[in-house]
């Protein structure tokens, strides 16, 4: 709800005068609908609270006394005229002049410039005083961080502020602690400064012209589009081509979702399995990617090796899916590899185990081995059967011969006795 309200407020910057604390009070029982009366404007009509089109329309009803301040803050009062809710306490991706992020709060990027749903990056004003950027759904720990003001440990009540001259700064209770931007920009009636964490994970201070209805960035947290961790998803790595961040997949890997880098990359072959007794390493090969750095997921380190030794060590190990090789050190890795990016100053090699052409897509199918065993068994039975049959025929033949011989012998005996009798 809070996020939604804030998004609604940002929806329109409708011109004119710079404001003091003028406010437009909306009385109890007023309502907005997406079709008629879709917005409430601030006195200068600079800000509007209301509906704007995005995928589906929203309906918002206000049931308490509410007001729209000329700073862009949407405030809800109770009957005692004290503030019970204000949009400035619930920022999503943008900070307006006069607004601040207090300790423990964070801003989130949008999914894209045209889609305000939750994106994949966040900017957190930590309780320790450090202002840090992380991917969403990750722990607040150093390996996930990709931007930090380095002000950890200075106090537990540090907040991030934006002034109406574009000055972005950290405040320790009431003491100015660190200026992120210079500020001092002309305070013109037709210009408003705002800070926004963009869908690409970089946060920028914009100068927005109310007359022209256009914006331009006057400061950014980094100029390297590959800095935001997680921009390429798992098993992908970021590289700058013509100053534009671009994601590539490791060799043998394809994008999970075309056009969606953060979904990462997956193998285009079936992984090696350790279930088989015989080595299947002959169905795999190692591919090399130069000058990339990755989050370490080492499970074994081999020292004093060559690149070839490292490749062989990974090939011979059914658990090994990749290896990092640098300074004669071979670090065996399990997938997925994360936070990959090209760094031409780093001689690190990533050696990736890939399926070769000898086998179809499915890799070394377990079933095939079983089938082979089955065939062998049937051949064995056949051989045994034939042997038995031949043996049986032989026995039959021999016994036939013996019976015949015995018969002939008996006949002769009878004839002999007859002739003896005849002789008598
Ligand atoms: C629009 O809002 C104004 C002020 O709240 C109210 O007087 C008017 O009746 C509303 N019009 C419609 C169509 O709801
Ligand atoms: C709006 O309400 C606030 C608080 O109740 C009050 O101080 C202010 O004078 C009101 N403004 C107008 C223009 O009615
Ligand atoms: C920040 O404020 C705290 C208490 O308010 C104080 O102890 C600390 O020294 C301050 N730090 C700096 C760098 O001024
Ligand atoms: C924390 O800082 C805010 C200003 O950013 C100040 O108003 C408040 O009094 C401070 N709280 C404490 C406990 O120092
Ligand atoms: C930041 O800039 C403001 C205005 O120029 C200045 O008053 C303040 O001392 C600066 N703060 C620091 C920590 O340099
Ligand atoms: C807006 O556009 C005009 C004309 O193209 C340009 O002169 C001006 O600098 C732009 N302002 C901003 C804030 O981008
Ligand atoms: C898998 O990827 C490798 C390298 O990217 C490629 O050479 C191979 O043709 C691909 N195989 C399939 C089945 O797509
Ligand atoms: C892109 O992939 C991410 C991660 O799988 C997912 O959260 C997001 O919804 C996807 N975006 C689109 C536009 O499909």
CA distance 141 to 350: 25
CA distance 236 to 158: 36
Whether the predicted pLDDT of 108 surpasses 90: yes
Cβ of 54 less than 6 Å from ligand 5: no
- Quickly state the pLDDT bin for 385 (edges 50, 70, 90): low
97 contacts 112 by C-beta, under 8 angstroms: no
State the pLDDT at residue 306.
Answer: 96
Residue where the block lists tokens 């169905």: 283
State the pLDDT at residue 152.
Answer: 93
Task: Give the chain's length.
Answer: 424
State the pLDDT at residue 10.
Answer: 34
Q: Region 208-228: what's the mean pLDDT?
A: 91
State the pLDDT at residue 14.
Answer: 26
Q: Region 392-414: what's the mean pLDDT?
A: 69
Q: Region 224-243: what's the mean pLDDT?
A: 96
Percentage of the chain lying above the pLDDT 70 cut: 71
State the pLDDT at residue 314.
Answer: 95
Whether the predicted pLDDT of 27 surpasses 80: no
Q: Region 251-266: what's the mean pLDDT?
A: 95
Cβ of 174 less than 6 Å from ligand 6: no
State the pLDDT at residue 381.
Answer: 61
**Which residue has a Cα nearest atom 4 of ligand 1?**
30
**Which residue has a Cα nearest atom 2 of ligand 4?**
173
- Quickly state the pLDDT bin for 300 (edges 50, 70, 90): very high
Residue 193 CA to ligand 6 center (angstroms) comes to: 14
Q: Region 295-307: what's the mean pLDDT?
A: 94
Whether the predicted pLDDT of 337 surpasses 80: yes
State the pLDDT at residue 351.
Answer: 97
Residue 50 CA to ligand 1 center (angstroms) comes to: 13
What dihedral do alpha carbons 121, 123, 124, 125 form, nearest 10°?
180
Q: Region 138-146: what's the mean pLDDT?
A: 96
CA distance 1 to 12: 19
State the pLDDT at residue 57.
Answer: 45
As given in the structure block, the two tokens for residue 72 are 């862009």
State the pLDDT at residue 84.
Answer: 67
Q: Region 398-415: what's the mean pLDDT?
A: 66
169 contacts 161 by C-beta, under 8 angstroms: yes
As given in the structure block, the two tokens for residue 198 are 């963009």
State the pLDDT at residue 7.
Answer: 34
Residue 339 CA to ligand 2 center (angstroms) comes to: 51
Whether the predicted pLDDT of 12 surpasses 60: no
Whether the predicted pLDDT of 77 surpasses 50: yes
**Which residue has a Cα nearest atom 7 of ligand 3?**
155
Residue where the block lists tokens 């990750």: 138
- Quickly state the pLDDT bin for 210 (edges 50, 70, 90): confident
More confident residue, 139 or 388: 139
Highest mean pLDDT among 116-120, 294-298, 390-394: 294-298
More confident residue, 382 or 257: 257
Cross-sheet strand order for the sheet of 214-220: 94-95, 191-197, 203-209, 214-220
Cβ of 157 less than 6 Å from ligand 4: yes
State the pLDDT at residue 151.
Answer: 95
Whether the predicted pLDDT of 40 surpasses 90: no
State the pLDDT at residue 6.
Answer: 36
Whether the predicted pLDDT of 370 surpasses 60: no
Residue where the block lists tokens 């604390």: 21
State the pLDDT at residue 408.
Answer: 62
Whether the predicted pLDDT of 376 surpasses 90: no
- Quickly state the pLDDT bin for 249 (edges 50, 70, 90): very high
- Quickly state the pLDDT bin for 415 (edges 50, 70, 90): low
| pTM score | 0.74
327 contacts 272 by C-beta, under 8 angstroms: no
Cβ of 171 less than 6 Å from ligand 4: yes
State the pLDDT at residue 11.
Answer: 32
Whether the predicted pLDDT of 289 surpasses 90: yes
């Amino acid at each position: 709800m809070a996020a939604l309200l804030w998004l609604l407020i940002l929806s329109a910057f409708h011109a004119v005068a710079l404001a003091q604390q003028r406010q437009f009070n909306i009385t109890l029982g007023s309502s907005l609908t997406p079709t008629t009366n879709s917005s409430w404007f601030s006195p200068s009509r600079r800000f509007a609270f209301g509906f704007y089109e995005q995928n589906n329309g929203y309906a918002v009803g206000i049931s308490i006394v509410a007001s729209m301040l000329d700073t862009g803050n949407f405030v809800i009062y109770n009957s005692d005229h004290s503030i019970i809710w204000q949009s400035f306490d619930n920022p999503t991706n943008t900070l307006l002049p006069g607004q601040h992020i207090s300790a423990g709060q964070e801003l989130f990027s949008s999914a894209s410039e045209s889609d305000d749903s939750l994106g994949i990056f966040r900017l957190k004003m930590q309780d320790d005083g450090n202002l840090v950027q992380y991917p969403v759904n990750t722990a607040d720990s150093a390996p996930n961080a990709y931007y930090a003001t380095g002000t950890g440990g200075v106090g537990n009540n540090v907040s991030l502020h934006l002034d109406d001259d574009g000055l972005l700064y950290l405040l320790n209770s009431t003491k100015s602690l660190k200026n992120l931007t210079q500020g001092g920009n002309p305070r013109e009636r037709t210009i408003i400064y705002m800070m926004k964490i963009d869908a690409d994970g970089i946060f920028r201070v914009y100068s927005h012209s109310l007359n022209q209805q256009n914006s331009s960035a006057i400061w950014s947290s980094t100029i390297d589009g590959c800095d935001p961790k997680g921009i390429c998803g798992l098993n992908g790595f970021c590289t700058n081509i013509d100053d534009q961040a671009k994601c590539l997949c490791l060799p043998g890997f394809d994008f999970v979702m075309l056009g969606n880098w953060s979904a990462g990359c997956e193998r285009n072959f079936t992984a090696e399995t350790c279930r088989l007794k015989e080595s299947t390493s002959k169905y795999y090969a190692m591919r090399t990617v130069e000058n990339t750095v990755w989050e370490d997921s080492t499970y074994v380190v081999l020292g004093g090796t060559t690149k070839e030794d490292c490749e062989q060590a990974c090939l011979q190990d059914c658990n090994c899916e990749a290896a990092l090789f640098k300074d004669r050190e071979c670090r065996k890795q399990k997938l997925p590899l994360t936070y990959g990016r090209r760094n031409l100053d780093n001689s690190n090699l990533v050696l990736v185990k890939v399926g070769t052409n000898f086998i179809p897509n499915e890799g070394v199918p377990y079933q095939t081995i079983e089938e082979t065993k089955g065939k062998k068994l049937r051949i064995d039975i056949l051989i045994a059967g034939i042997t038995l049959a031949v043996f049986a025929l032989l026995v039959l033949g021999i016994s036939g011969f013996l019976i015949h011989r015995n018969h002939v012998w008996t006949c002769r005996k009878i004839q002999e006795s007859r002739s003896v009798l005849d002789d008598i």
